[in-house]
Amino acid sequence: MIPVKNKIDIRSLNLPELQESFKNMGEKGFRASQVYEWLWKKACINFDDMSNLSKDLRKKLEENFTINHVKIHHSQFSTDKTIKNSFILHDKHLIEGVLIPTPGRMTACVSSQVGCSLTCKFCATGYMERKRNLNPDEIYDQVVLIDRQARENYGIPLSNIVYMGMGEPLLNYKNVIESIEKITSDDGLNMAAKRITVSTAGIAKMIKKLGDDEVKFNLALSLHAANDEKRNTIMPINEQNSLRALAEALKYYYAKTKNPVTYEYIIFDGVNDNIQDAIELAKFCKHLPCKVNIIEYNPIAFASYINAGEDKVEAFADYLRKQDINTNLRRSRGKDIDAACGQLAIKDMAS
């Protein structure tokens, strides 16, 4: 029996590598550039659709390469027009991504890992096992599919992207950065880096690396307590990345990029909702230019946390504003379909 030839995922190759492959196939280098444009600018997932290539070349591509693209597995529509998608990957793993329409914005929330290795107590994904990192093309595909969904359902293209789905982006650093390069490049989707926000649970050394790389996109820190004892309980990652270490890393990041940081803060009833917590947060905010997004909590079956009362949330926000801290209250979207912040978890995750 003749063994089946192992095909290369063509999107795992950069342009020079693709040009070298074409040279080995006896094809001219400019043909590689044409294919590269089809893959990343036009988001093409089928060699037969590359209409300016000869049939012979398309056949060669089919014989030597594959395009391991992401597909929509299932979509749920919320009463507030949010759309949650489960995406199926080439190896049958499932991830989730969300389209969030709000007045003036059309936002894609994308995942960076299959599952998550962190164990944040309030987050559904944190109760899952991390299966693997997503490749740059798998993150890129989520953006393409959600943008298409926005155009088809609401007649409006994506305006913003948040890396706030499943997984910790900074523990998949290289692939996340490469995906953003593809999304923002003239050779890719040509979206503005300032329209992209990467959210982290707080990996101090990787925040410093963002500074060293002088990234142009926005950074958000999922904070939820400015007290080490409380944050250790809510987010065990804090035990290795203390608030002091995070503050030092964030100051370094700001010095390198001049990008203000967003702090995400969920106010849990009886946990981090009193004025002393607000005082501690205000003190943490003085380290560098920032803003605070107070996020409504979305209960999950695995955890006993509940959202703080409206009066406590307002008092908390009012204190921060009196300290001249830019503070926004964010209402959850897609709660009725478990699409809101902290609720993403695949119920039937493929093994």
By the 8 A CB rule, do 337 and 124 touch?
Answer: no
223, two tokens? 């904070």
Q: How far apart are CA 292 and CA 304, in angstroms?
A: 24
Q: At what angle do helices 310-322 and 275-285 cross, to 10 degrees?
A: 40
Kind and range of the H or E run holding 36: helix 29-40
Q: How far apart are CA 30 and CA 37, in angstroms?
A: 11
Among the listed residues 120, 285, 290, 341, the single catalytic one is: 341
Q: How far apart are CA 182 and CA 173, in angstroms?
A: 14
Q: How far apart are CA 205 and CA 210, in angstroms?
A: 9
Q: How far apart are CA 249 and CA 197, in angstroms?
A: 18
The residues, ordered by sequence, that sit 6+ positions from 116 with a Cβ below 8 Å of its Cβ are 123, 125, 126, 128, 130, 166, 167, 168
Active-site residue 123, yes or no? Answer: no
Active-site residue 314, yes or no? Answer: no
Among the listed residues 96, 138, 264, 280, the single catalytic one is: 96
Residues annotated as part of the active site: 96, 341
